[in-house]
């Protein structure tokens, strides 16, 4: 007999008939000898409807009142599902988040779970009842017991957190698609179902726009080793397992906020090659990385951003032994990137830096917590370490620094994040932690597992920041104070001396809803901090590929860039981490970009998915 947590999303409980179908599935699972906690979302598009009502009354509703309003949606479903179960003769009881004792931070509309009381849940389970719990909500602990919500899509997080707290055998997420697909089937009907994906890959996909799972649900599954599966509410097909390495024991206190970082890593065997001032037009990155991959040069980080005068800098890191080859490729390509009619001497300049090191913080607990990266930058600034390149992912923030400063950087980071020397985080390649793992022996997955599109981002650029330790710390510290999460961060490679001070541009992406306020806030401090202009572009799309197998596969980036170039899609920004490559393109080209990349990696199947409304 197993203890199972099942979660049913909005569409799956969208009508009385669907609630009855869910009740039947729950009943069958109990009859098969299992105990069950069922977490449900609000019916259909109820939450969207409530948001709309609020917006008709206030353009900027009070966040406490919003939580009061939105939490009602789930409360309807729990009562109805409980009744439907009772009609089938199955004892059941509904409970709100507060009744269970899902204790969260007092942060309205995006609260993190601190602790889940299991006493009441366990008592009802032991009495043979199915407990039906309202997803997406909790209660703040301190004094007033305010109702909080976890953020849109947060019922997944409720379910996985309850599974962790109860040490359930596994957690099943039932939804309107057959599992996790190579991309959103609403945008690419030929998307294919995966039978398994690692937590780290899913964390990236979820954060980069694949809304099939709430990213924080994946964080919890990874940190607590909760076996997790996404399945269809309409069929009995097995769905997709999200696999994780066996985690070290972790306390259930401060469930979502303890230890966002569990390792400090470094690599001193790195060198950087940059091509400065290359034309800002489709095909440039494709050409460079196409040649690099033909020469079998494996690049690590790649960054590219647009700067004044509409030219780009592209930089990448390689391991020292292959630097000569990488440099030769860049030098061979550079002449072709200069304008033929009127070549200027400073176009397509190749710049090489030998003595660099990459230092990283790694862990699952950084999503939506801008303070973690900010703390890394502040720690480096305090240690007097200048940051040359920044690469961010959901599970890692890496900074390229001067090699001579690596030891100092690592020591400072270890002490700031309380990491013992040699302490390792959970492995990036998930071992298979599923109830029947023998069925899921990995059959060397393709390098790219999935493609995601995020149309809700905006890009901010700050011109001419003084190039000295502490600038990134200042900037991202300010954003963190305003609770603004930053995704891609790119510092320009070219450095200009203005008023005797070397300066660089820095560009980054934020959620579109944070764009205007971030711009306003940064503009206010720009003069005081000797920054230049702050520029906002909201009409962007970010398209990303994710896969743990792309490590050590030289041609992956080239293939992505070539697919975009072939369709005349200009790349505005590139940022990579070990297991993802993201490109910013114009908003109106986002869907097309997703489709051509999905096709280029051969991810399309012959079967087409029709997603129920």
The answer to whether 344 and 239 are in contact (CB under 8 A) is: no
Encoded tokens for 67: 């939580």
184 forms part of the interface with ligand ADP (CB under 6 A):
yes
CA neighbor of 540 nearest in space, from 579, 582, 568, 506: 582
Measured distance CA(243)–CA(238) in Å, rounded:
14
450 forms part of the interface with ligand ADP (CB under 6 A):
yes
Encoded tokens for 563: 């697919």
Measured distance CA(58)–CA(67) in Å, rounded:
14
Q: How far is the CB of 230 from ligand ADP (least distance, A)?
A: 8
Strands 92-95 and 130-134: parallel
Binding string, 128-167, against Mg ion, x = CB under 5 A? -------------------------x--------------
Residue 354 DSSP symbol: E
What residues from 425 to 464 belong to the interface with ligand ASP (CB under 6 A)? none
Q: How far is the CB of 315 from ligand ADP (least distance, A)?
A: 30
CA neighbor of 110 nearest in space, from 483, 395, 397: 483
Q: What is the largest CA-CA distance in the chain?
A: 83
**What are the CA-CA distances from residue 139 to residues 8, 84, 145 (Å)?**
21, 27, 6
Q: Pick one of 11, 29, 41, 223: the residue that binds ligand ASP (CB under 6 A).
A: 41
> What is the 3-class SS of 191-224, one letter each residue?
CCECCEEEHHHHHHHHHCCCCCCCHHHHHHHHHH
Q: How far is the CB of 51 from ligand ASP (least distance, A)?
A: 9
Q: How far is CA 296 from the centre of its chain?
A: 29
Q: Spell out the residues 6+ positions from residue 259 whose beta carbon is closer than 8 angstroms to its own.
A: 250, 363, 365
Encoded tokens for 543: 């398209």
261 forms part of the interface with ligand ADP (CB under 6 A):
no
Residue 152's binding partner among ligand ADP, Mg ion, ligand ASP, none (Cβ under 5 to 8 angstroms by kind) is: ligand ASP
Q: Pick one of 22, 42, 409, 507: the residue that binds ligand ASP (CB under 6 A).
A: 42
Q: Pick one of 5, 38, 130, 180: the residue that binds ligand ADP (CB under 6 A).
A: 180
What residues from 148 to 187 belong to the interface with ligand ASP (CB under 6 A)? 152-155
Residue 608's binding partner among Mg ion, ligand ASP, ligand ADP, none (Cβ under 5 to 8 angstroms by kind) is: none
The answer to whether 135 and 41 are in contact (CB under 8 A) is: yes
176 forms part of the interface with ligand ADP (CB under 6 A):
yes
345 by DSSP, 3-state: which?
coil
10 forms part of the interface with ligand ADP (CB under 6 A):
yes
CA neighbor of 267 nearest in space, from 322, 208, 319, 197: 319
Q: Where are the alpha helices (DSSP H) in 249-387?
A: 284-294, 323-333, 370-382
Q: Spell out the residues 6+ positions from residue 159 whose beta carbon is closer than 8 angstroms to its own.
A: 5, 6, 7, 39, 135, 171, 173, 217
Binding string, 17-46, against ligand ADP, x = CB under 6 A? ------------------------x-----
Measured distance CA(546)–CA(87) in Å, rounded:
45
Total residues at interface with ligand ADP (CB under 6 A): 20
97 forms part of the interface with ligand ASP (CB under 6 A):
no
Q: How far is the CB of 159 from ligand ADP (least distance, A)?
A: 10
Strands 228-232 and 170-175: parallel
215 forms part of the interface with Mg ion (CB under 5 A):
no
Residue 289's binding partner among Mg ion, ligand ADP, ligand ASP, none (Cβ under 5 to 8 angstroms by kind) is: none
Q: Which is nearer to ligand ADP, 185 or 590 (CB)?
A: 185
Total residues at interface with ligand ASP (CB under 6 A): 12
Q: How far is the CB of 343 from ligand ADP (least distance, A)?
A: 45
Q: Pick one of 135, 260, 370, 430: the residue that binds ligand ASP (CB under 6 A).
A: 135
Burial of 527 (0-12, 13-18, 19+ CB in 10 A): exposed
Residue 301's binding partner among ligand ASP, Mg ion, ligand ADP, none (Cβ under 5 to 8 angstroms by kind) is: none
Q: Which is nearer to ligand ASP, 155 or 311 (CB)?
A: 155
136 forms part of the interface with ligand ASP (CB under 6 A):
yes
CA neighbor of 23 nearest in space, from 5, 8, 33, 34: 8
14 forms part of the interface with Mg ion (CB under 5 A):
no
The answer to whether 88 and 23 are in contact (CB under 8 A) is: yes
Closest residue to bound Mg ion by CB:
153
Q: Pick one of 123, 186, 324, 520: the residue that binds ligand ADP (CB under 6 A).
A: 186
Q: Which is nearer to ligand ADP, 135 or 225 (CB)?
A: 135
Chain residues that interact with ligand ADP, rule: CB under 6 A: 9-12, 41, 153, 175-177, 180-181, 183-186, 210-212, 450, 611
Kindly list the residues in this chain that would bind Mg ion in the complex (CB under 5 A): 9, 153
Contact footprint for ligand ASP (CB under 6 A): 9-10, 41-42, 47, 73, 135-136, 152-155
């Amino acid at each position: 007999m197993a203890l199972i947590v099942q979660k049913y999303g909005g569409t799956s409980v969208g009508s009385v008939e669907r609630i009855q179908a869910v009740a039947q599935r729950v009943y069958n699972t109990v009859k098969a000898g299992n105990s069950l906690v069922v977490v449900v979302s609000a019916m259909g598009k109820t939450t969207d409807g409530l948001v709309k009502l609020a917006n008709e009354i206030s353009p900027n509703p009070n966040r406490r009142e919003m939580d009061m309003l939105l939490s009602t949606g789930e409360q309807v479903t729990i009562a109805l599902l409980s009744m439907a179960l009772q009609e089938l003769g199955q004892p059941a009881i509904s409970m709100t988040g507060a009744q269970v004792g899902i204790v969260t931070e007092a942060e309205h509309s995006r609260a993190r779970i601190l602790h889940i009381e299991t006493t009441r849940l366990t008592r009802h389970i032991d009495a043979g009842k199915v407990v039906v719990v309202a997803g997406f909500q909790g209660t703040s602990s301190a004094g007033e017991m305010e109702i909080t919500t976890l953020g849109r899509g947060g019922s997944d997080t409720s379910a996985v957190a309850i599974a962790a707290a109860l040490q359930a055998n596994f957690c099943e997420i039932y939804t309107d698609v057959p599992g996790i697909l190579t991309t959103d089937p609403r945008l690419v009907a030929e998307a294919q179902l995966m039978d398994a994906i690692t937590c780290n890959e899913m964390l990236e996909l979820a954060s980069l726009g694949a809304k099939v799972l709430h990213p924080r649900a994946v964080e919890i599954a990874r940190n607590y080793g909760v076996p997790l599966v996404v399945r269809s509410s309409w069929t009995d097909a097995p769905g997709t397992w999200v696999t994780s390495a066996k985690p070290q024991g972790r306390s259930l206190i401060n469930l979502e906020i303890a230890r966002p970082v569990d390792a400090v890593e470094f690599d001193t065997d790195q060198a950087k090659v940059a091509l400065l001032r290359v034309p800002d037009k489709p095909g440039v990155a494709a050409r460079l990385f196409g040649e690099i991959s033909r020469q079998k040069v494996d690049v690590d980080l790649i960054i590219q951003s647009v700067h004044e005068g509409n030219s780009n800098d592209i930089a990448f890191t390689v391991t020292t032994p292959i630097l000569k080859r990488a440099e030769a490729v860049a030098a061979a390509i550079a002449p072709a990137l200069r304008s033929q009619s009127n070549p200027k001497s400073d176009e397509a300049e190749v710049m090489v830096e030998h003595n660099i090191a990459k230092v990283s913080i790694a862990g699952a607990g950084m999503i939506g917590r801008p303070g973690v990266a900010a703390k890394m930058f502040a720690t480096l600034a305090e240690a007097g370490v200048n940051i040359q390149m920044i690469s961010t992912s959901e599970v890692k923030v890496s900074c390229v620094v001067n090699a001579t400063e690596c030891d100092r950087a690592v020591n400072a980071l270890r002490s700031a994040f309380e990491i013992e020397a040699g302490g390792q985080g959970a492995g990036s390649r998930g071992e298979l932690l599923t109830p029947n793992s023998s069925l899921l022996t990995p059959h060397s997955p393709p390098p790219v597992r999935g493609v995601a599109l995020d149309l809700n981002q905006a890009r901010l650029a700050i011109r001419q920041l003084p190039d000295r330790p502490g600038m990134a710390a200042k900037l991202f510290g300010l954003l963190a104070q305003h609770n603004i999460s930053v995704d891609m961060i790119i510092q320009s490679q070219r450095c200009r001396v203005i008023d005797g001070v070397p300066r660089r541009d820095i560009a980054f992406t934020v959620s579109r809803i944070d764009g205007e306020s971030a711009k306003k806030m940064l503009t206010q401090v720009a003069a005081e901090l000797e920054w230049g202009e702050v520029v906002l572009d909201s009409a962007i799309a970010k398209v990303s590929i994710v896969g743990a197998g792309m490590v050590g596969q030289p041609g992956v980036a080239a293939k992505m860039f070539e697919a975009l170039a072939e369709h005349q899609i200009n790349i505005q920004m590139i940022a990579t981490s070990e297991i993802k490559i993201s490109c910013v393109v114009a908003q109106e080209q986002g869907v097309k970009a997703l489709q051509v990349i999905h096709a280029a990696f051969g991810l399309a199947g012959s079967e087409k998915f029709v997603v129920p409304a």
